[in-house]
Structure 1
């Protein structure tokens, strides 16, 4: 799998293009993402959202219209795509497919698992494709996502950390901001956060 990344907007939100067998999956198209995406994709098949915050979904509609794609979004965050709850002037979008917690889907032979890790947002999910995990704003290199926003929940973040700490396998982690890492590299940090929340 080939993975391309470009930070977008003031918050430097990572937009990813994951290419498997000549098929491009666009993950978290943030502010003004379409211009970059147009230079990198050849055969886009879907838009995947890790969660509903504006800086991750800003260009959903623009990318959808350009390529006639479906948007796949965790169902508990769909309201954020439509309502612009932070008043940032985000173009509204609407998911074509609402993903249930921990649901696995298959797109043109590619298996994709949305692991539900609420806390940062109600629907916050990490998208697994093979041994790669696109964690949105759940796990970053050296830290975790904030849980003091409206619609965040500290107790659910703690539960989500407990959940991922039970995993035995390692993953390459591609976060919503900053550099990539691995789950094994973040175990110590996750345990520290779990104890402090």
Structure 2
């Protein structure tokens, strides 16, 4: 697996190109991501969203139409693809495949699992490919995603933290913002957040 990353837009939202066997999977195409993807992807086969916030889905429609690939989005965040929060002019997009919570899919021989960790958004998901997690805005290096936005839920976040703290494998984590980390490096921090949320 080869991973390319570039932070997009004012919020420096990480867009990923994951290459396996000369096939590219694009994750979270943020603001003005299309040009970078075009320059750095030779064989895109699918477009994935970790969740529906505008800074992660901004270029969805443009990218999927440019490369004629399908868009996979967590079903519980589908409603966000046509929202225009803060009147920023986000282009609406439509998902081709709505992924159910904790569903595993296969795209051209590549197994991908959408682990459901709601709290930041209703459909917030961590995308697992092999031993690598693309955590969106659930886990960052040294912290977690906010749960005080509209459509966020603190109790759902607490449940999601309990859920991932039961995992016992040191996954590589590539978050939606900031630097990569590992699950074991974040365990103490996740435990503190889980205790903190009331």
TM-score between both structures, scaled by the size of structure 1: 0.99
The yes-or-no answer on 1:44 pairing with 2:44 is yes
Correspondence for 1:155: 155
Question: RMSD in angstroms over aligned alpha carbons?
Answer: 0.6
The CA distance in 2 between the partners of 1:86 and 1:191, in whole Å, is: 33
What is the CA-CA distance between 1:85 and the residue it aligns to? 3.8
* Paired residues for 1:128-139 under 5 Å: 128-139=128-139
Correspondence for 1:166: 166
What is the CA-CA distance between 1:76 and the residue it aligns to? 0.3
Gaps of 5+ in 1: none
Correspondence for 1:12: 12
Correspondence for 1:107: 107
The yes-or-no answer on 1:59 pairing with 2:43 is no
Q: Is the 8 A contact 1:119 1:147 kept in 2?
A: yes
What is the CA-CA distance between 1:169 and the residue it aligns to? 1.0
How many residue pairs end up in the alignment?
197
SS at match of 1:173: strand
The CA distance in 2 between the partners of 1:164 and 1:91, in whole Å, is: 33
* Paired residues for 1:85-124 under 5 Å: 85-124=85-124
The yes-or-no answer on 1:76 pairing with 2:76 is yes
The CA distance in 1 between the partners of 2:22 and 2:76, in whole Å, is: 31
Correspondence for 2:23: 23
Correspondence for 1:2: 2
Deviations 1:1-28 (A, max 9, x none): 0000000000000000000000000000
- Structure 1 stretches of 4+ moved >6 Å: none
Correspondence for 1:195: 195
Deviations 1:117-175 (A, max 9, x none): 00000000000000000000000000000000000000000000000000011100000
The CA distance in 2 between the partners of 1:51 and 1:156, in whole Å, is: 15
TM-score between both structures, scaled by the size of structure 2: 0.98
Gaps of 5+ in 2: none
